[in-house]
Amino acid sequence: MHDISPIRAKSGTNQEGTSAHNRRVMIEALRLNGALSRADLARATQLTKQAVSNIVEDLERDGLVVALDAVRKGRGQPFTPYRLVPEGAFAIGLQIDRHLTRVVVVDLVGSVMVRAEANLPLDEPSPGVQTILGLVARVRRELAGISAQSERRLVGLGVAMPGPFGLRESDDKWMMPAWQQFPLLETLAAGTGLNVGLQNDAAACATAERIVGAAHGVDHAVCLYVGYGIAAGLILNGELYNGGNGNAGEIGRVLLSPAGPGSTPLEHRASLASLYQHLGLNPADANLYDKLAALAVAEDPKIMAWIEHAASDLRWSVHLIETIFDPQTVILTSGAPEPLARRLLQAMHPLLPSIADRPGRRLPRLQLGTTDPWAIAVGAAAEPISRAFDPRFSAILKAG
């Protein structure tokens, strides 16, 4: 039958899928709750004690969980809590930015084990990729010195770089057109032998917040990322949403007001690019970060003026995000130094009215996320970890 159009469907599942799913569910339960006894895990996952026992035994043999000391509490036999073994898995995260690249190795619980960075020649991917492969090789060697099993436990390489992806060629050199054209994933996969995934920097930031930050355990959160451009990383229904072409959340490209093609994109007014321009700074300046921090701490009038102005646009961005996504919270993250981010956050208050302004809220409408410049690389690394261990990356489905 059907020799013309391909048959479309989700794939079915079998016992292998069941088991894989249940393993992931247990790992997630431990991630969310810290440490749990087998009995607790049974309650958490709705599985029987026996099933849990078997799976825990498996996980322990695989080196993903360990037993802690037994705890006496109340009546009944003392229980033995289990927790995740951080060195049970590793992933490499790679941030590619306009003039610099960062590589980190994170473990199963999202802690950074190794980090390395290097400058990149602007928009010259061929030599750039060599630099990157060198860094990756270096962190792998370093990791091998820390954990003997490291290579076997390396689950993948996650890449984060500024989006959007796959558009017609751009003449804007800040959009990294040469990198956009370059067969990056293939080259990295070939050069490292690892599974490679790609996301934009805001998405990576959101992933980082989800695994170790403010979005930990929150199913609906949007991460507003103020970097060279601005974008939103979307955690919807507990998972990262990428859109049809990996470009969801590119909020900085929203044209302000319905006026027409002539109007300004949001990120021309409220991004760090606009700040550099406002201050007459060179974005490639190596001391940029420290300079900005100093200016912010000193409450320099020029930077305060920018903050005031940018905050007004960002306030509207939050309003937009709240109105459109109805998240439980919005997290402000930034490539900017913390003092600057903190002042920006303050200047964004009071927030605009929106449907988020409802009775009985449990989380703040807007909160500050990480301002660690390494967060994007960490988020990039978290992606392969999630792919390997998170139940939301449907392990139930049979391999396609």
Partner DNA sequence: ACCATTAAGTCAATTCGCTTGACTTAATTA
Partner DNA sequence: TAATTAAGTCAAGCGAATTGACTTAATGGT
* Residue 6 Cβ vs DNA, minimum distance, rounded to whole Å: 14
Residue among 27, 29, 30, 55 that touches DNA (CB under 7 A): 55
Nearer to DNA, 18 or 346 (CB): 18
Provide the 8-state DSSP code for 284.
T
Reported as type and span, the H/E element at residue 24 is helix 15-33
Question: Using CA of residue 270, residue 271, residue 272, residue 276, what is the dihedral sign?
Answer: negative
The answer to whether residue 54 forms part of the interface with DNA (CB under 7 A) is: yes
Q: Hunting for tokens 């997630």 — which residue is that?
A: 28
Residue among 75, 168, 358, 362 that touches DNA (CB under 7 A): 75
Question: Using CA of residue 269, residue 321, residue 238, residue 242, what is the dihedral sign?
Answer: negative
Nearer to a copy of itself, 129 or 232 (CB): 232
Residues in 80-109 that interact with DNA by CB under 7 A: 80
Euclidean distance between CA atoms 300 and 275, whole angstroms: 13
* Residue 384 Cβ vs DNA, minimum distance, rounded to whole Å: 23
Partner whose binding site includes residue 249, from a copy of itself, DNA, none (CB under 5 to 8 Å by kind)? a copy of itself
Binding mask 268-297 for DNA (x = CB under 7 A): ------------------------------
Nearer to DNA, 312 or 394 (CB): 394
* Exposed / middle / buried, residue 266 (Cβ in 10 Å: 0-12, 13-18, 19+): buried
Q: What angle do CA 280, 313, 310 make, to 5 degrees?
A: 30
Nearer to DNA, 58 or 117 (CB): 58
Euclidean distance between CA atoms 75 and 79, whole angstroms: 11
Residue among 22, 101, 328, 334 that touches DNA (CB under 7 A): 22
CB distance 316 to 323 below 8 Å? no
Nearer to DNA, 12 or 166 (CB): 12
Half-sphere exposure (CA, 13 Å, Cβ side) for 62?
Answer: 14
Region of 76 on the Ramachandran plot (φ > 0 left; ψ -120 to 50 alpha; else beta): left
Nearer to a copy of itself, 129 or 344 (CB): 344
Partner whose binding site includes residue 141, from a copy of itself, DNA, none (CB under 5 to 8 Å by kind)? none
* Residue 306 Cβ vs a copy of itself, minimum distance, rounded to whole Å: 15
- Nearest Cα to Cα of residue 224 among 379, 382, 366, 378: 366
The answer to whether residue 16 forms part of the interface with DNA (CB under 7 A) is: yes
Residue among 18, 149, 245, 323 that touches DNA (CB under 7 A): 18
* Residue 31 Cβ vs DNA, minimum distance, rounded to whole Å: 18
Nearer to a copy of itself, 246 or 339 (CB): 246
Task: Candidates 45-53, 177-185, 197-205, 261-269: pick the segment binding DNA (CB under 7 A).
Answer: 45-53
CB distance 104 to 381 below 8 Å? yes
Nearer to DNA, 55 or 272 (CB): 55
CB distance 82 to 30 below 8 Å? yes
**Which residues, 6 or more positions from 375, have their beta carbon under 8 angstroms from its beta carbon?**
204, 205, 208, 209, 213, 333, 369
Provide the 8-state DSSP code for 62.
T
Instruction: List interacting residues with DNA (CB under 7 A).
Output: 1, 12-16, 18-19, 22, 37-40, 47-51, 53-55, 70, 72, 74-80, 398
